[in-house]
Every structure is written in C-alpha cells, then in structure tokens.
Amino acid sequence: MRSPDGWEGWNAGEYHEIVPYEKIVSSMYFSDSKGNKVDAAELGIEHEAVEGAYDVTIFEDLGNGQTKLTFIGNDTMQNAIESGQLEGWKEILDKVAAVVEELAQAK
C-alpha cells in the first residue's frame, strides 16, 4: 500500500478458513516487501495487534450476477479510518474488482 505522502508499506496474511462462495477468515500483519513479518514498532507505527483476532469476509449471492460483500474487521471503524485501514481495504477491493471484471470479459 502507498500513503498519499508516498510512504510504502506491506502487509501479508494467513487464511484460516475458506468456504468457497461464502466466507473467508483471515489475519493480516505488517511485513517487508517479501512477506516476512515485521513488528509495527520497527516501522514507526503504533499498533495494538490482538493475537488470534481474525477478519471475516462474507459473500452473499444477491442474484442477477450480484454479490454482497460484508467485511468484519477486528478494529473499530474510527481506528480503521484514522490508521488508513479503510483506505487500504478500498484499494484491495478495487484491485479485486478489476480482476473480476477482466475474468468476466474473458468469457
């Protein structure tokens, strides 16, 4: 991810449960560019990670080719906004949408 002022940071994660077309349970952590785990303090980031806290992404088929995505994170909305997580998730979802669109056009 890249902040508006040009700072670049990386995250990596682990998938703990995948139920196709229904749910993904995962966790994320700060990493270097190769995916190696890095302590947030080393990056100058004040971060209170909760060990064992997972993010849950739920997919709901709405019909007519539409899917509702619900993301349940392990942080408050205010902290997500202030820390840039919300913007980071927007970037991730924009990239996923581009891949899905490309796959749909390839059919």
Query: Looking at the 3D structure of the chain, how many domains does it have?
Result: 1
Position 34 in a domain: yes
Tokens in use for 77? Answer: 């909305």
Position 4 in a domain: no
Q: What is the pLDDT of residues 66-84, one digit of tens each?
A: 899 998 887 778 878 887 7
pLDDT of 59: 95
Q: Which of 53, 28, 54 is nearest to 40 (CA)?
A: 28
Position 5 in a domain: no
Is it the case that residue 65 has pLDDT exceeding 80? yes
Q: For residues 38 and 74, what is the distance between their CA atoms, to the nearest angstrom?
A: 19
pTM value > 0.75:
no
Q: What is the pLDDT of residues 5-41, one digit of tens each?
A: 877 778 888 999 999 999 999 988 888 888 888 887 7
Which residues form the domain of 81? 10-106
Q: How confident is the model at residue 102 (pLDDT cuts 50, 70, 90)?
A: very high
Position 43 in a domain: yes
- Report the phi/psi class of residue 44: left, alpha or beta, with left for phi > 0 and alpha for psi in -120 to 50: left
pLDDT of 50: 59
Of all helices (H) and strands (E), which one includes residue 31? strand 23-31
pLDDT of 16: 95
Q: How far is the CA of 18 from the CAs of 23, 25, 37, 87, in angstroms?
A: 6, 6, 22, 24
pLDDT of 64: 92
Q: For residues 107 and 104, what is the distance between their CA atoms, to the nearest angstrom?
A: 6
Q: Are 27 and 53 in contact (CB under 8 A)?
A: yes
